[in-house]
Amino acid sequence: MNDEGHYTTTQSLDQLEQEIAGAIQAIKNDDSAEAFRIKYLGKKGLFRSLLKSVKDLSLEERKTYGGKLNALRNSTEERFGAKPWEESMEGGEEECFDPTLPAWPIPKGSIHPLTKTRNEIVDILVGMGFELAYGPDVETDYYNFEALNFPKHHPARDMQDTFFVSADVLLRTHTSPVQVRVMENQKPPIRSIMPGTVYRNEEISARSNCQFGQIEGLYIDENVSLADLKGTLLSFSRQFFGEDTDIKIRPSFFPFTEPSLEVDVRCFICKGSGCSVCKQSGWLEVLGAGMVHPNVLASSGIDNEKYTGFAFGMGIDRIALLRYGINDIRLFYENDTRFLRQF
């Protein structure tokens, strides 16, 4: 019974409901499901034809028949959308068997090299007395820029190509906003590190990605000096890269630190003699750092006459590239088990 002329009364809709229930139960695969959809729910299907015929009924019949027809159509769409036939297609031992899977014992996974690198960095810094702090990936312009001494329309904002969600909301370009949130909610002394993912609107290449991991550190107390920063970085470098590692400090510029500097470590692969990883220089650039700018302290509610501090930050992906001698950052994100199982 599939001619719409047979279903023009409310009683006949009861028969249609039984027919549909049986038809759904009879669906066994995607082909029969598509045949059901075309017959009953398609643009030229039975329900579309019946709804067009409602206009020819009397007002009283429209209310009764039309309401029941709409209800039946809605319930049919819900039952069909739930795909009850898929349950009967699952679970068979023969149907689920995949001969391409490895034999027993199943190989175990390993820690991702980026996670491994991050954990090692965090463990060293926590051992030096730093506490972990986290913040949102989606930030406001205030925390990501203004509170860090990036005024509106400041050219330094061009240093970081930004993913904007709206005029004042964005994906954070560094984990420095967490520093501001920590300073707003905690009184000195402060000694915190902020690991997390950051986002920049950059072209994906062997050396850059639009998202990457970063860890920043912050120390604020009375009488904190540049010597404290140097000692902290030297201690970290020797624990992470090796006991014979030396560091080299170069002047740089960051709006949220003054003075600002960049740190190189003596190449831990060639021990300073020159190799392809350090581009024959004997040194590797690993992080940026500096003394926290007085404006940043003041905007976070900290007395910049009484307290000073330093901050530093490093890219986890870059550290991992250097440490493992990898020449393409994209390898970290392609989930190629041949690459990952090396770690």
pLDDT in tens, 321-343: 888 888 888 999 888 888 888 88
- pTM of structure: 0.66
Whether 90 has a pLDDT exceeding 60, the answer reads no
* Cβ atoms 226, 127 nearer than 8 A: no
The two tokens of residue 223 are 């009488």
DSSP assignment letter at 210:
S
For every residue of 260-275, DSSP letters joined together read EEEEEEE-TTTTTS--
Angle of helix 113-127 relative to helix 226-241, nearest 10 degrees, comes to: 130
pLDDT, position 40: 82
The CATH number of domain 113-340 is 3.40.1190.20: no
pLDDT, position 95: 58
> Which residue ranges make up each domain of the chain?
4-94, 113-340
Q: What is the band of 2 on the pLDDT scale with cuts at 50, 70, 90?
A: very low
The mean-pLDDT minimum among 96-105, 139-148, 228-237 falls in 96-105
pLDDT in tens, 25-78: 888 887 888 888 888 888 778 878 887 777 777 777 767 777 787 888 888 888
